[in-house]
Amino acid sequence: MDGKRVTAEQILAAIGADVERMAQKVADSLNAAEAGAIIDQSEEPVRDALAELRRQTYQKALDLLSENQQDFSPSEHPNADRLAHQRPTDHHAPDDERAIDG
């Protein structure tokens, strides 16, 4: 069911500006650090920028998936009427298999 999936292209389109902001934060953090203390002074801000990008990416991917699933309507399925009217499952044979109606 391809209509329910999200593609990498959709995610990239949704997070493009977020990636640019993260890259700017990483560059700013590295450039603001003093010589001899680059790792010590930039590691935490860079980690935080990447964590924020990860959160934003995951949230936007979930939103895209939700949108794609809403666009998919089970009522458009060619057998929707037949599938919607299946008989109840409350009468099972002793072997827990459904009996086949003649």
* Domain assignment present for 77: yes
Find out whether 56 and 91 touch, Cβ atoms under 8 Å. Answer: no
Specify if 47 maps to a domain. yes
Q: Decide if 55 is inside a domain.
A: yes
Q: Label residue 31 left, alpha or beta by phi (over 0 means left) and psi (-120 to 50 means alpha).
A: alpha
CA pseudo-torsion sign 40, 42, 43, 44: positive
Q: Residue 70: what pLDDT? A: 85
The 10s digit of each residue's pLDDT in 25-48 is 999 999 999 999 999 999 999 999
The answer to whether the CB of 83 falls within 8 A of the CB of 77 is yes
Domains in the chain, number: 1
pTM of the model: 0.64
Residue 19 resides in a domain:
yes
- Kindly state whether residue 102 falls inside one of the protein's structural domains: no
Write out pLDDT tens, residues 91-101: 555 666 666 65
- The C-alpha atoms of residue 90 and residue 73 are separated, in whole angstroms, by 28
- Summarised one tens digit per residue, pLDDT across range 73-92 is 655 555 555 555 555 566 55
- Domain interval for residue 76: 2-84
